């Protein structure tokens, strides 16, 4: 979950930077609206998908490691690290959930306020356009297809206001804003989401302005915007006619010409953004699969081996540790037996002088060959003596029943992390 949120919010920030400095001043309003609504959807979905076409094929001559569960020579280390890790994750999860809950409450209160306004308003019609007249108000806004007009607004301005709000209704801008409210619930801690919603609201106004000025002279429309005497609502999921922070930008944008072909080429810049996204997601998933410290053999690692004839294929039978012949899950049984064996035979006193104080780790790679013997033992650690002790203990493992594939015995590579505490 944490990795997912980091990915989504990181690329939301990158998208906002790209949009703000490259596209926000362009007059291709429909494209801008599409990007502001679709890119966040892609970002929410992409981390959940697999992009195998970006992965580098593994040569046939290379065997894939089976990753055994880490061995904690001192059980207190495991308990301490697990408790600390779980504690931090739990606190972050509760903090995130609290933020989501607060967002839901805020959204519910705002929605209730708008619904109450609509219930109290009187439905009217002007020039074939239905709207709701709100008492004791000078607000004008649209919410989910309903036009709300304050009774304090002058009748002279009513026609242009209704034309403006009707465009919001026809183009269904409220749905865009509602989507962003959901996005804000998921990413409430990211200020960029609020900035993107503001950009979307501005694009909505550009779209409406460009549509309304097809029927009304621009000069007259400028005047109506500048002379608007009614207030605006501060609810983020409604479209209002006048947002004073937008007026200057809207007037400037109305004066701009239609985009040229060269200008439209800027939008191709979104392609490298998506390529970066898919590459990042693919690398993160691949790293999770291949990193020994983060992989559990019982949940994420497939029993795979490479043969000259068949390439990667699922192994028919994993190696069997002595005493695991009748076990329901021979692989899990082997993992437990190896952990117990290493925990019993790893002598911390042999490396006490060379090892630094605190938690130390060694990573051992070995092969169970086609005869079931332990061979090709390699180890790395912060000190040579620690690596030698790790190799010594793994070398003491008993011979096992070798792995089988299509009726033949085969060799398999393993990786084993060993952790101990030097006090």
SS (HEC) of the chain = CHHHHHHHHHHHHHHHHHHHHHHCCCCCHHHHHHHHHHHHHHHHHHHHCCCHHHCCCCCCCCCCCEECCCEECCHHHHHHHHHHHHHHHHHHHHHHHHHHHHHHHHHHHHHHHHHHHHHHCEEEEECCEEEEEECCCCCEEEECCEEEEECCCCCCCHHHHHHHHHHHHHCCHHHHHHHHHHHHHHCCCCHHHHHHHHHHHHHHHHHHHHHHCCCCCHHHHHHHHHCCCCCCCCCCCCEECCCHHHHHHHHHHHCCCCCCHHHHHHHHHHHHHHHHHHHHHHHHHHHHHHCHHHCCCCCCCCCEEEECCCEEEECCECCECCCCCCCCCHHHHHHHHHHHHHHHHCCHHHCCCCCCCEEEEEEEEEEECCCCCEEEEEEEECCHHHHHHHHHHHHCCCCCECEEECCEEECEEEEEEEEEEEC
Torsion of CA 243, 244, 250, 255, to 10 degrees: 150
Phi, psi at residue 352, to the nearest 5°? -60, -40
What's the burial of 80, exposed, middle or buried (CB within 10 Å: 0-12/13-18/19+)? middle
Rounded to 5°, the CA angle 299-300-305 comes to 115
Cα-trace Rg, the chain? 32
Q: Which of 246-255, 330-339, 398-407 has the lowest mean pLDDT?
A: 246-255
Rounded to 5°, the CA angle 104-109-113 comes to 145
pTM recorded for the entire structure: 0.62
Q: For residue 76, what pLDDT is reported?
A: 44
**C-alpha–C-alpha distance, residues 102 and 244, integer Å:** 28
CA distances from 283 to 44, 54, 280, 415 (A): 17, 9, 5, 21
> Looking at per-residue confidence, does 350 or 64 come out higher?
350
Q: For residue 240, what pLDDT is reported?
A: 55
> Looking at per-residue confidence, does 100 or 286 come out higher?
100
Q: For residue 357, what pLDDT is reported?
A: 79
CATH classification of 302-422 is 3.30.1150, yes or no? yes
Q: For residue 245, what pLDDT is reported?
A: 63
> Looking at per-residue confidence, does 192 or 246 come out higher?
192
pLDDT surpassing 60 at residue 257: yes
What's the burial of 86, exposed, middle or buried (CB within 10 Å: 0-12/13-18/19+)? exposed
| For range 17-22, the mean pLDDT | 93
Phi-psi bin for 372: left (phi > 0), alpha (psi -120 to 50), beta?
A: left
**C-alpha–C-alpha distance, residues 349 and 385, integer Å:** 11
Q: What percent of the chain has pLDDT over 90?
A: 29
pLDDT surpassing 80 at residue 313: no
pLDDT tens-digit profile of 184-217?
A: 999 999 999 999 999 999 999 899 888 888 888 8
Highest-confidence range of 158-167, 193-202, 342-351, by mean pLDDT? 193-202
pLDDT surpassing 50 at residue 249: yes
> Looking at per-residue confidence, does 251 or 43 come out higher?
43
Q: Which of 201-210, 295-304, 339-348 has the lowest mean pLDDT?
A: 295-304
**C-alpha–C-alpha distance, residues 132 and 142, integer Å:** 10
| For range 234-258, the mean pLDDT | 67
| For range 299-313, the mean pLDDT | 37
Q: For residue 299, what pLDDT is reported?
A: 33
Q: For residue 45, what pLDDT is reported?
A: 94
pLDDT surpassing 60 at residue 1: yes
Average pLDDT of the chain, as a whole number: 80
Q: For residue 282, what pLDDT is reported?
A: 81
Q: Are 343 and 73 in contact (CB under 8 A)?
A: yes
Hey, how many other C-beta atoms are within 10 angstroms of the C-beta on 200? 20
pLDDT tens-digit profile of 260-282?
A: 777 778 899 899 999 999 888 88
Q: Are 235 and 114 in contact (CB under 8 A)?
A: yes
pLDDT tens-digit profile of 214-227?
A: 888 877 777 776 66
Q: Which of 75-79, 108-112, 280-284, 330-334 has the lowest mean pLDDT?
A: 75-79
Q: For residue 62, what pLDDT is reported?
A: 44
């Amino acid at each position: 979950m944490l990795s997912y949120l980091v990915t989504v919010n990181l690329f939301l920030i990158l998208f906002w930077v790209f949009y703000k400095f490259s596209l926000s001043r362009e007059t291709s309003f429909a494209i801008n609206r599409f990007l502001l609504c679709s890119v966040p959807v892609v970002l929410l979905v992409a981390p959940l998908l697999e992009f195998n076409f970006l992965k580098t094929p593994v040569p046939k001559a290379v065997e894939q490691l089976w990753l055994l569960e880490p061995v904690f020579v001192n059980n207190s280390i495991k308990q301490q690290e697990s408790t600390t890790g779980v504690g931090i994750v739990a606190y972050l999860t509760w903090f995130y959930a609290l933020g989501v809950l607060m967002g839901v409450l805020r959204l519910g209160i705002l929605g209730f306020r708008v619904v109450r306004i609509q219930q109290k308003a009187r439905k009217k019609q002007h020039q074939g356009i239905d709207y709701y007249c709100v008492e004791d108000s000078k607000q004008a806004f649209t919410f989910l297809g309903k036009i709300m007009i304050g009774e304090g607004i002058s009748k002279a301005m009513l026609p242009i206001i209704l034309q403006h709000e009707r465009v919001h209704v026809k183009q269904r801008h409220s749905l865009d804003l509602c989507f962003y409210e959901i996005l804000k619930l998921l990413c409430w801690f990211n200020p960029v989401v609020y900035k993107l919603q503001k950009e979307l609201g501005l694009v909505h106004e550009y779209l409406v302005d460009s549509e309304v000025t097809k029927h009304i002279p621009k000069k007259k429309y400028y005047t109506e915007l500048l002379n608007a005497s009614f207030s605006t609502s501060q609810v983020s999921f409604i479209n209002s006619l006048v947002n004073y922070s937008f007026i200057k930008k809207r007037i400037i944008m109305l004066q701009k010409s239609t985009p040229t072909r060269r200008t439209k080429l800027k939008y191709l810049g979104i392609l490298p953004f998506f390529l970066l996204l898919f590459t990042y997601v693919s690398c993160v998933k691949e790293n999770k699969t291949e990193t020994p410290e983060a992989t559990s053999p019982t949940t994420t690692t497939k029993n795979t081996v490479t043969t000259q004839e068949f390439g990667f294929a699922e192994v028919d039978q994993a190696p069997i540790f002595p005493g695991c012949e009748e076990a329901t899950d021979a692989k899990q049984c082997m993992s437990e037996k190896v952990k117990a064996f290493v925990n019993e035979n790893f002598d911390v006193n042999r490396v006490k002088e060379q090892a630094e104080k605190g938690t130390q780790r060694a990573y051992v790679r070995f092969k169970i060959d086609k005869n079931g013997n332990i061979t090709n033992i390699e180890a790395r650690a912060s000190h040579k003596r620690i690596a030698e002790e790790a190799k010594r203990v793994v070398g003491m493992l008993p011979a096992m029943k070798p792995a089988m594939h299509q009726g033949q015995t085969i060799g398999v590579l393993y990786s084993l992390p060993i952790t101990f505490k030097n006090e």
